[in-house]
Amino acid sequence: MKDTSAIKKFKRFLQIEKGLSDNSIYAYTYDLKKFGEFLTSQKKDILSATGEDIKQFLRFEKIKKHNSSRTLARSLAAIRQFYNFISDTMGDLENPTNKVETPQVKKNLPDFLTIKEINKLNDSISESDVYELRDKALFELLYSCGLRISEAVGLIVNHIDFTNKYIRVRGKGNKERLVPMGDEAVRLLKKYINESRPVILGNNRTSEYIFISKKGPLLNRKSVWRLLKGYVERIDIHKNITPHTLRHSFATHLIENGADLRSVQELLGHLDISTTQIYTHMARRKLKEIHKKYHPRA
């Protein structure tokens, strides 16, 4: 099996067996491409690479390319996944990543908004303007349902069950989950669909997507980032706020108010509970801040 053939088969495996998105597949194959180019410069190939070759590649990326530990860990994860696949396909090939340690990555806790800040952002967006009403409904879904931005902009009309107050979400790995909607999300979504969406859509266009732009069939992710940034500039909040910040806020507020980790994992669509555990750290950080601020002996 040649290098290019092996990588093509791995790519099909990620697409068909793992059900990964195009972006995830690109990230995996990009890291493998970098590794392959390094091996070629050393007159070696990917199917005969050793653990020492992988360590040298990571050192090269760190020293010569000045890549962070997080980037190195991601590259190693892609290489490890590739060799896991190859080892399963070619039983006599030992996985060279088995003795390669993952670079230590410092976990930075993401920013989140307080409930007061969420309300301030919400109050700054008008419901009388057709586009602002659309944006307000979208941001409410991101926050009150904990959606990823790609999940929110990918929602189509028949994903919404207003009777039972649920939305059907297709997340990472093409996994589907049901997420409950709060009363405010239901109210804003109904108002947007009835009053604003037909105006934006006009008489000559149709779209299956819920959130549409003035010219396109759906609102793209970059536009949502830009729109949210504009609304944040209206209010006095000095944090690095992105659409994902609303998802972080959703999970943090659930944990702070006593939700169990497994339930939050299910709502977020995390495959691994270790990904969800970061929100317990965020809740602990806030408790420490409260203790330091209000306790006389802190």
Selecting among 168, 172, 191, 221, the annotated active-site residue is 172
pLDDT score, position 283 = 64
Selecting among 28, 83, 192, 279, the annotated active-site residue is 279
pLDDT score, position 64 = 87
CA 45/CA 148 separation, integer angstroms:
38
Using CA atoms in the order 116, 229, 190, 176, what is the torsion angle rounded to 10 degrees? -100
pLDDT score, position 168 = 93
Beta bridge partners of 180: 166
Residue bearing tokens 């099909």: 12
**Range(s) within the chain of domains with CATH label 1.10.443.10:** 115-294
| Torsions phi, psi for 112 (to 5 deg) | -140, 160
DSSP structure class, residue 174: G
Selecting among 18, 168, 244, 286, the annotated active-site residue is 244
**Range(s) within the chain of domains with CATH label 1.10.150.130:** 3-89
Q: Known catalytic residue: 244?
A: yes
Per-residue pLDDT in tens (0 to 9) along the chain, 298 residues = 456 788 888 999 888 888 777 888 888 899 999 999 999 999 998 988 999 999 999 999 999 888 888 889 899 999 999 999 988 887 667 889 998 988 876 666 668 899 999 999 999 999 999 999 999 999 999 999 999 999 999 999 999 999 999 999 988 777 889 999 999 999 999 999 999 999 999 888 889 999 999 888 889 889 999 999 999 999 988 888 999 999 999 988 988 888 888 888 888 888 776 677 777 766 666 666 766 776 676 6
Selecting among 74, 148, 159, 253, the annotated active-site residue is 148
pLDDT score, position 240 = 85
pLDDT score, position 107 = 63
Selecting among 74, 136, 159, 247, the annotated active-site residue is 247
Topology adopted by domain 115-294: hpI Integrase; Chain A (1.10.443)
Q: Known catalytic residue: 59?
A: no
Q: Known catalytic residue: 191?
A: no
CA 280/CA 107 separation, integer angstroms:
13
Domain covering 3-89 assigned CATH 1.10.3720.10 in the classification: no
Assigned token pair, 36? 């392959």
Q: Known catalytic residue: 172?
A: yes
